[in-house]
Amino acid sequence: MSKNWLITGTSTGLGRLLTERLLARGDHVAATVRVPAVLDDLASRYPDTLRVFVLDITDTPAVRATVDAAFAAMPRIDIVVGNAGYGLFGAAEEVTDAQIDRQIATNLTGAIQLIRAVLPHLRHQQGGRIVQLSSEGGQIAYPNFSVYHASKWGIEGFVESVAQEVAPFGIDFLLVEPGPTRTSFVSGLVRAESMAEYDDTPAGAMRRALDSGTFTIKGDAYNTVEAIIAAGDAVRPPLRLALGSTAYASIHTGLINRLDALEAQKDRAFAADATAPRPGA
């Protein structure tokens, strides 16, 4: 049985490939782009199952209007995919205020407002699924991606909370956490102007690894999209879906290290609890 999808950020990368795969299998897609012509080839090939909407995810009133229009154009939307986003590359001291604002507005605030906009529609239709593209960078961190990580860790916390709020309405969430994947992500990075002071630091080493091509990218875009579709089709997918061996290994190591650090603090943590009333209290 075919499904109806709303997907943001479908111009390139995983969003584009996801749209192609869903249309090819007979699903209906409402796709958002910033430049409408980029999907002309798909629109001509799938005139009955693809609807294209122009949207800048940082424009909150436009997000609400586009969501309303997409739901009005379909009898129901089964799955909403928040995919719009990009990476900001640079040490925290190197990035500009404007770059920070744009990164947060796109990856975090835009994702939050998309979710807020679709919730009333999903409640009205008594259920649905929201797939939010995060990253292994929503649980671990690399140098030179500090603001990008802030956006991904932020959206993961938001989703984990909202998932509890709306579960009674039959709405569930899936956080997709790919590792480094062979897409246009690296070529599309917004880069800060580098400072010589960081050349001999982990930030400089990361820059050289990306620029030289020695940074290992194992993830395959096609396999990643197929895994997202399979999880979207599942009756009860996990809240978080790590994709790629790099994502699995890095998140696994990160969680173990954090758990070990927490266990070492157990006595100190318990000592902060209230015990007997203090004299005079």
Consecutive 10-residue averages of pLDDT for the chain (281 residues): 94 94 97 93 96 96 98 96 94 97 97 98 97 95 95 98 98 92 76 93 92 82 93 94 94 97 95 82 63
248 is catalytic: no
For residue 27, give its domain range: 4-270
Q: Does 266 qualify as catalytic in the annotation?
A: no
**Could you tell me if residue 281 is inside a domain?**
no
Residue 31 has what DSSP assignment?
A: E
pLDDT of residue 281: 63
Outline where the chain has alpha helix (H): 13-24, 40-45, 60-73, 97-103, 110-124, 146-166, 202-212, 221-233, 245-263, 266-271
**Catalytic residue (choose from 3, 11, 152, 198):** 152
Residue-level pLDDT at 224: 93
* Rg value, the chain, Cα: 21
- In the chain, the number of structural domains is 1
149 within a domain of the structure (yes/no): yes
Which CATH number goes with the domain that contains 244? Answer: 3.40.50.720
Integer CA distances (angstroms), 217 to 87, 125, 183, 196, in order? 16, 40, 10, 27
State the Cα–Cα distance between residues 167 and 76, nearest whole angstrom.
Answer: 18
Q: Which of 134, 135, 146, 250 is catalytic?
A: 134
- Asked about 134 being catalytic, the answer comes back as yes
Is the residue at 76 inside a domain? yes
Q: Is residue 123 part of a domain?
A: yes
Q: What is d(CA 81, CA 94) in angstroms, rounded to the nearest whole number?
A: 32
Taking residue 269's Cβ as centre, other Cβ atoms within 10 Å add up to 10
Q: Hey, what are 69's tokens?
A: 């229009």
pLDDT at 230: 95
Report yes or no on 280 lying in a domain: no
Among candidate residues 3, 148, 151, 250, the one labeled active-site is 148
Predicted TM-score (pTM) of the model is: 0.93
Q: What is the distance between the alpha carbons of residues 21 and 226, in angstroms, rounded to a whole number?
A: 8
- What is the distance between the alpha carbons of residues 101 and 110, in angstroms, rounded to a whole number? 12
195 occurs within a structural domain: yes
Asked if residue 33 belongs to a domain, the reply is yes
Within-domain flag for 139: yes
